[in-house]
């Protein structure tokens, strides 16, 4: 039985919502799943000890520490402490290096970029030789998706540009893109006139722009907006992902796939 632990430090509302989504899916799939909530003021040492306990636990195949962590904790130290064979997020430097090298070396691809690649490929969008422009250079999305689509492999082999906050003429770069992946965290950054007609637009932005009362539950929920002006952009793009409901569910799906892979690997099946 695949085993997954998700560790949440503090109670950042976005992180609580992401971790709950991951746990609900793991339960639906009948995984052995644990939600480990730790207080905001946990020491780095204590968090390292907790990770070490899960590293040794044979029922746990995947360990996920939800990011961001509080400022007093060194994120690099924490990610380094996770056993690379249980690193279903693909954030350990060994797994980052394996992805960079490519081929069978890459054991766990980070979940959001892996999900983006599946969305593009399974929608029938040609990737080989395509002009891909990634807006954003984070370790969670921008850098890994650029690396994935750059590999000489099926569903990849693209010409990739990474644009960021210092990029001159961002609009000009975006207009060249056959596949435009936006992970900047700036609501409505990409204007409809920046999109090449027929392009595939992947919006990774999840920006909380306010609150509303849910019609279903009567509870307060966040109003989410992407990095792309969806209503206008959908008239120009050939393919486009909504926010919410586009990339987010794929992140969870790929986490489950990585956990199954980890469990099989631990059982010597693959
Ligand atoms: N914070 C935002 N995205 C992610 C993710 O994919 N994994 C983890 N661990 N933290 C995140």
Query: Which of the listed residues 8, 96, 108, 112 should we mutate to test ligand 1's pocket, taking the one with most ligand atoms within 8 A of CB?
Result: 112
Q: Give residue-wise pLDDT tens across range 209-245.
A: 999 999 889 989 999 999 999 999 999 999 999 999 9
Q: Report DSSP letters for 196-254, one per residue.
A: PTT-EEEE---EEEEEEE-TTT-SEEEEEE-SB-HHHHTTT-SEE--TTTSHHHHHHHH
Mean per-residue pLDDT of the chain? 97
Please tell me if the CB atom of residue 256 comes closer than 6 angstroms to any atom of ligand 1. Answer: no
Could you give the residue numbers annotated as active site? 22, 66, 89
Query: What is the Cα–Cα distance from 116 to 148, expressed in whole angstroms?
Result: 10
Nearest CA, atom 2, ligand 1 = 67
pLDDT tens per residue across span 23-81: 999 999 999 999 999 999 999 999 999 999 999 999 999 999 999 999 999 999 999 99
Rounded to whole angstroms, what are the CA distances from 77 to 25, 38, 62, 93, 201?
Answer: 28, 17, 18, 11, 35
Ligand 1 proximity of 112 Cβ (cutoff 6 Å): yes
Q: State whether the beta carbon of 16 lies less than 6 angstroms from ligand 1.
A: no
Q: What separation in Å is there between the alpha carbon of 140 and the centre of ligand 1?
A: 7
Q: How many residues does the chain have?
A: 270
Structure tokens, 56: 């040794």
State which ligand 1 atom lies nearest to the alpha carbon of 15: 1
pLDDT, tens only, 85-129: 999 999 999 999 999 999 888 899 999 999 999 999 999 999 999
Q: Which one-letter DSSP state was computed for residue 181?
A: E
| Residue pointed to by tokens 């210092």 | 166
Residue 135 pairs in a beta bridge with 163, 182
Residue 111 in contact with ligand 1 by CB distance below 6 A? yes
Instruction: Tell me the C-alpha distance between 200 and 228, whole Å.
Output: 12
Asked whether the beta carbons of 225 and 209 are under 8 A apart, the reply is: yes
What spacing in Å lies between the alpha carbon of 193 and ligand 1's midpoint? 31
């Amino acid at each position: 039985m695949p085993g997954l632990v998700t560790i949440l430090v503090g109670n950042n509302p976005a992180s609580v919502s992401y971790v709950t989504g991951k746990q609900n899916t793991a339960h639906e799939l009948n995984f052995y799943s644990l939600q480990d909530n730790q207080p905001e003021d946990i020491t780095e040492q204590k968090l390292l000890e907790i990770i070490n306990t899960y590293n040794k636990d044979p029922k746990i195949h995947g360990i996920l520490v939800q990011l961001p962590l509080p400022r007093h904790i060194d994120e690099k130290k924490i990610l380094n402490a996770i056993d690379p064979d249980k690193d279903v997020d693909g954030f350990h430097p060994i797994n980052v290096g394996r992805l960079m090298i490519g081929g069978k070396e890459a054991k766990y691809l980070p979940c959001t970029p892996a999900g983006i690649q599946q969305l593009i490929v399974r929608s029938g969008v040609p990737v080989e030789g395509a002009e891909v422009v990634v807006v954003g250079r984070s370790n969670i999305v921008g850098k890994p998706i650029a690396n994935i689509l750059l590999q000489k492999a099926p569903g990849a082999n693209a010409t990739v540009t990474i644009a960021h906050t210092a990029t001159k003429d961002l609009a000009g770069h975006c207009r060249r893109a056959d596949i435009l992946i936006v992970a900047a965290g700036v609501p409505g950054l990409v204007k409809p006139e920046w999109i090449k007609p027929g392009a595939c637009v992947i919006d990774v932005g999840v920006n909380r722009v306010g609150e509303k009362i849910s019609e279903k539950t009567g509870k307060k929920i966040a109003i989410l907006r992407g990095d792309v002006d969806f209503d206008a952009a959908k008239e120009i793009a050939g393919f486009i992902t909504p926010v919410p409901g586009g990339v987010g569910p794929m992140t969870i799906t790929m986490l489950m796939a990585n956990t199954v892979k980890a469990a099989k690997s631990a059982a010597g099946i693959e």
